[in-house]
Amino acid sequence: MIFSSKAEYGVRLMVELGRQSPDQPTSLKAIADAEGLPLAYMEQVVARLRKADLVRSARGAHGGYWLSRPAEEIAMDEVVQALEGAIVPMECFTHDHTERVLCSHEPDAGRGCATKLLWTRVQGGIIRSLQMTTLADLVEFSRRGEREQTTPEPTAAVPTPAA
Amino acid sequence: MIFSSKAEYGVRLMVELGRQSPDQPTSLKAIADAEGLPLAYMEQVVARLRKADLVRSARGAHGGYWLSRPAEEIAMDEVVQALEGAIVPMECFTHDHTERVLCSHEPDAGRGCATKLLWTRVQGGIIRSLQMTTLADLVEFSRRGEREQTTPEPTAAVPTPAA
DNA sequence: CCGATAACCGACCTCCCTGGTAGGATATGG
DNA sequence: CCATATCCTACCAGGGAGGTCGGTTATCGG
């Protein structure tokens, strides 16, 4: 398990918002019910997304959440970063105020940190994978899966039967 | 923290073995002392590497461990896999007996697992980063760091002063 | 104005895994 | 025969993951 369930739940939440029209807010309860996830826990998850300004919110009756930007402009590294914190492959990797990533191991016994090269490459691999995927990709993927499930042959052109 | 310290310690151990000549075994105590790691815990770590046939061992006095293959032929995905188990970005990813990776989430409410696409890409990014790095790369990296530490100018050609 | 809805906030709690220790059994060289 | 060193199993404390609970604030419809 590399990422925690906060990432899973949060990404699902974002996809769910991406499926809705951005005009009107969607309540967290509707999302939690649709995905079968605990509402109280989702509140904590969505709080992180709001603090990162990935979603906006309106309080009170008929309130809810919506994407702060179109899904095409949201790269998934932002989302995962907001949910999980800094993406570091190993504990000794710290993120100072700049974009520089460095290993906090003191160079013990006169030689550098042997594993630094490896974890740096892994980190790059992860972040690149996340950057090249947008929320719109996932929304489209989820719609495609849905079509395959409900209509095996592409005859009917009704994607969401408004359950 | 994406990988546990087992990976860190195990990789360090492998690098240490890669620095030694493969003719004679190196005792675990020597490695633990050199890296400042607890011996008893390292026993558990090296056991995983041995079960994956990445290192071989000899018991008794003057026993120890050595690489089962030259460092150039050891890709780091094997090493990390042996130490951490299957490299899966999310809990729902299970690895069946083939090489196929799949998401165990039931397609709830008629639509597929929205996050599957994302985690699949992340997993690919990680594994590719690990595969393209060999143990020999890390050994060379550690030697280079050592040279920079001890001799700022490349005059003396003595790499290890046999402490 | 009132009550229902729903976002917001912080404290709490339980389980399990990580990281590490303890103590021994077995094998081997000198 | 003893020091060395691998091998094996059980045990244990701490912390974080995953989730619950109770309450507060804001906004709508009537």
| SS3 sequence of B13-49 | HHHHHHHCCCCCCECHHHHHHHHCCCHHHHHHHHHHH
pTM: 0.85
Q: Do A122 and B109 touch (CB under 8 A)?
A: no
DSSP A107: -
The one-character DSSP state at A56 is: E
Q: Taking 60 as the threshold, does the pLDDT of residue B89 lie above it?
A: yes
Is pLDDT of B101 > 60? no
Per-residue pLDDT, A150: 56
Is residue A127's pLDDT more than 80? yes
Residues 41-70 of B with CB under 7 A from strand D: 43-44, 46-47, 50, 57-65
Provide, in whole angstroms, the distance separating residue B50's CA from nucleotide D4's C1': 20
- Average pLDDT in chain B: 84
> Is pLDDT above 90 for A27?
yes
Considering only the beta carbons, identify the residue of A15, A125, A141 that sits closest to B129. A125
pLDDT(B144) > 90: no
* Closest to A142 measured CA to CA, from B94, B91, B89, B115: B115
Write out the two tokens for B126.
């990680």
Alpha-carbon dihedral sign for residues A104, A109, A110, A116:
negative
Confidence category of residue A19, pLDDT binned at 50, 70, 90: very high
Q: Give the model confidence (pLDDT) of A70-84 as tens digits.
A: 999 999 999 999 999
Is residue B86 predicted with pLDDT exceeding 60?
yes
Confidence band, pLDDT 50/70/90 cuts, at residue B23: confident
Q: Give CA separation, B96 vs A40, A102, B53, B160, in Å.
A: 34, 36, 22, 46
In DSSP notation, B35-90 reads HT--HHHHHHHHHHHHHTTSEEEE-STT-EEEESS-GGG-BHHHHHHHHH-S--SS
Asked if A73 is an interface residue toward chain B (Cβ–Cβ < 8 A), one would say no
Asked if residue A136 lies in contact with residue A18, where contact means CB atoms within 8 angstroms, the answer is yes
- Name the pLDDT band for B91 (thresholds 50, 70, 90): confident
Cα–Cα distance measured from residue B82 to residue B50, given in angstroms and rounded to the nearest whole number = 9
Report for A19-28, A137-146, B60-69, B143-152: range of highest mean pLDDT: B60-69
Q: Higher confidence at residue B7 or residue A157?
A: B7
Q: Does B110 touch chain A (CB under 8 A)?
A: yes
The confidence score (pLDDT) of residue B151 equals 52
D17: residue with closest CA to C1': A4
> What is the mean predicted confidence (pLDDT) over A2-16?
95
Can you give the pLDDT at residue B93?
A: 73
What does the pLDDT look like over A34-47, one tens digit per residue? 999 999 999 999 99
Chain segment A54-63, per-residue pLDDT in tens:
999 999 999 9
Residues of A in contact with B89 (CB under 8 A): 2-3
Q: Please report, rounded to whole angstroms, the spatial distance between the CA atom of protein residue B26 and the C1' atom of nucleotide D14.
A: 33
